Amino acid sequence: MPTPGALFASILFGLVGALAFGYGKRNAAWRPMLIGLALILFPYFVSATWLLYLIGASLCVVLFAFRG
């Protein structure tokens, strides 16, 4: 059973990933689509809570830093 922090991180980054994927699909931009897909899928493979937040925050920074 995941901790409440891990569950919150999975939901948060999954939601951000779904929004980024939809944005990329709507605008035919492959970079937000790939980062969004990564944000959706990585919580399935990472179990440590601190690593969930580290990877998720890093992917969000990459998403917003290279949104052009």
Q: pLDDT band for 67, please (50, 70, 90 cuts).
A: confident
Say whether pLDDT at 44 is over 70. Answer: yes
Residue 60 CB burial class (10 angstroms; 0-12, 13-18, ≥19): middle
**Can you give the pTM of this predicted structure?**
0.91
Dmax over Cα atoms in the chain, in whole Å? Answer: 39
Q: pLDDT band for 68, please (50, 70, 90 cuts).
A: low
Q: Are 57 and 11 in contact (CB under 8 A)?
A: no
- For the chain, the structural domain boundaries read 4-65
